[in-house]
Chain A
Amino acid sequence: MNKWLLAPLLMLGLSGCSSLSSTDQQLLGEAQAGFNRIKNDADILRAAPKDVVRASESLARAERLASYWGSAEDVRHYAYLSQRYGEIARQHSLTLLNQERLAQLELERQRLQLTLREAQLLNVQQQTAWLAEQMALLQGVEGERGLVMTLGDVLFEVGAAELLPAASRTLLQVAHFLQMHPKRRVRIEGYTDNTGSVDFNLQLSRARAQSVADLLQDLGIGAERIEVVGHGIAFPVAENASSRGRAQNRRVEIVFSDEQGRLSAER
């Protein structure tokens, strides 16, 4: 071989290193950086080991080709494939992490559901017990009228029929009780003390009883299950002589029917 032949061969070899344009060099650099990011990520290795291996192989190919003349297109191609494998592996790892989190959360959801059911049951039991207690207390006095619950004077403004916010809580529990016992009905009876005219007190007692009935209806109890009566100053439970006795007389009573929906006779 003469030196004329050696010269172009040498040139070919030398030009190998500089055959890549700066853009291609940059692409290769990005692929290398991308691979460095995924190869040290334990989750990615765990979720998609094969894709990581392929990313590595493609990158190695791109690096090898980078030293050959005229292979810029292949370098770009394998750098691209390496990046793509890396992205695919990353997506798979994110999916896997989500799936693991889903499994954890599903357990948590089941636990919560169980707790909620227990709490609801307990709540129902407490309400029933509370109501039964209320009723038992009053049953001794008013046994022949069935179960009776008294809403005290404090639930209304003086001389007005509007319910105070404090009443809502009690009536919410009554509504719950009625929802649990859909056959039961109620008669709501209003009473006043003897201050003021008989007519005014009759109207006030009826209006107060109606306010209670309205709230129960707002809470989802059907109107057909509710009767409303005003008794005015009749049937006092205490002497009207003292302010304490008068306060006891200002009240709304809720008379509950039995389980079959039979109410005691009206007074």
Chain B
Amino acid sequence: MSKASLCLVLVASALVGCASDPVPSEQLRLTEQTLTQVRALNISAGQSAALAQAEDKFAAAQRAMDKGRYRRARILAEQAELDARLAEAEHLHGTSQEQLSALQGSIQQLRKQLGALQ
């Protein structure tokens, strides 16, 4: 084998690596499922940067799938899944924060009423 042909083999095998990525349809399904769950929380579009990122990346992942760029599609879909989960976690935190404020308010109100009596 000549030097040149050996180099060609090396380069070719590097290129083959990209093409042999598995089709990430399972990951896309999982991401879509997560997104559906998070959308059901009715977080408004401007409210969550993480959800907006998730939507953008999921759309990009689908486009990458259509073009056969499976590796890119997998990466985007995995990130979109976590973006969506972060949006969900932030939403839960926000909700608990609101509950906390409401409860603190009602306690303050009770204290005031009690103070007025004493």
* Cα separation A210 to B78 with both chains bound (whole Å): 79
The proximity string for B residues 75-114 relative to A, scoring 1 for CB distances below 8 Å and 0 otherwise, is: 1001100110110011011001101100110110011011
> Which 10 A-B pairs give the minimum distances between C-beta atoms?
A91-B89, A98-B96, A84-B82, A112-B110, A95-B93, A119-B117, A91-B93, A88-B89, A105-B103, A94-B93
Count how many chain B residues have C-beta atoms less than 8 Å from C-beta atoms of the other chain: 30
Selected interface stretch from B2-10, B22-30, B36-44? B2-10
- Among residues of B, the one whose C-beta sits closest to the C-beta of A93 is B93
Q: A5-B6, A8-B7 are in contact. Are A77 and B75 (CB under 8 A)?
A: yes
Q: A77-B78, A77-B79, A108-B107 are in contact. Are A98 and B86 (CB under 8 A)?
A: no
- Among residues of A, the one whose C-beta sits closest to the C-beta of B78 is A81
| Interchain CB contact under 8 A, B118 and A112 | no
* Cα separation A112 to B110 with both chains bound (whole Å): 7
Count how many chain A residues have C-beta atoms less than 8 Å from C-beta atoms of the other chain: 31
What residues of chain A lie closer than 8 Å to B100, measured between beta carbons? 98, 101-102, 105
| Interchain CB contact under 8 A, A91 and B92 | yes
- Among residues of B, the one whose C-beta sits closest to the C-beta of A84 is B82
Can you list 27 pairs linking A and B with CB atoms under 8 Å apart?
A5-B3, A5-B6, A70-B14, A77-B79, A92-B93, A94-B96, A95-B92, A95-B96, A98-B100, A99-B96, A101-B100, A102-B99, A102-B103, A105-B100, A105-B104, A105-B107, A106-B103, A109-B110, A112-B110, A112-B111, A112-B114, A113-B110, A116-B114, A119-B114, A119-B117, A119-B118, A123-B117
* Cα separation A5 to B6 with both chains bound (whole Å): 8
- B residues apposed to A, CB below 8 Å: 3, 6-7, 10, 14, 75, 78-79, 82-83, 85-86, 89-90, 92-93, 96-97, 99-100, 103-104, 106-107, 110-111, 113-114, 117-118
Instruction: Name the prevailing secondary structure of the A interface residues.
Output: helix
User: A115: CB under 8 A from chain B?
Assistant: yes
In angstroms, how far is the closest chain B Cβ from the Cβ of A7?
10
- A residues apposed to B, CB below 8 Å: 4-5, 8, 70, 73, 77, 80-81, 84-85, 87-88, 91-92, 94-95, 98-99, 101-102, 105-106, 108-109, 112-113, 115-116, 119-120, 123
* Cα separation A73 to B18 with both chains bound (whole Å): 12
| Interchain CB contact under 8 A, B86 and A88 | yes
| Interchain CB contact under 8 A, B85 and A88 | yes
Instruction: Name the prevailing secondary structure of the B interface residues.
Output: helix
What residues of chain B lie closer than 8 Å to A85, measured between beta carbons? 82
What residues of chain A lie closer than 8 Å to B78, measured between beta carbons? 77, 81
What residues of chain B lie closer than 8 Å to A80, measured between beta carbons? 79
Please pick, from A8, A95, A120, the residue contacting B117 in the complex, using a CB distance under 8 A: A120
* Cα separation A113 to B111 with both chains bound (whole Å): 9
What residues of chain B lie closer than 8 Å to A95, measured between beta carbons? 89, 92-93, 96
In angstroms, how far is the closest chain A Cβ from the Cβ of B59?
18
What residues of chain B lie closer than 8 Å to A120, measured between beta carbons? 117
* Cα separation A81 to B86 with both chains bound (whole Å): 11
* Cα separation A48 to B85 with both chains bound (whole Å): 13
What residues of chain B lie closer than 8 Å to A109, measured between beta carbons? 103, 106-107, 110
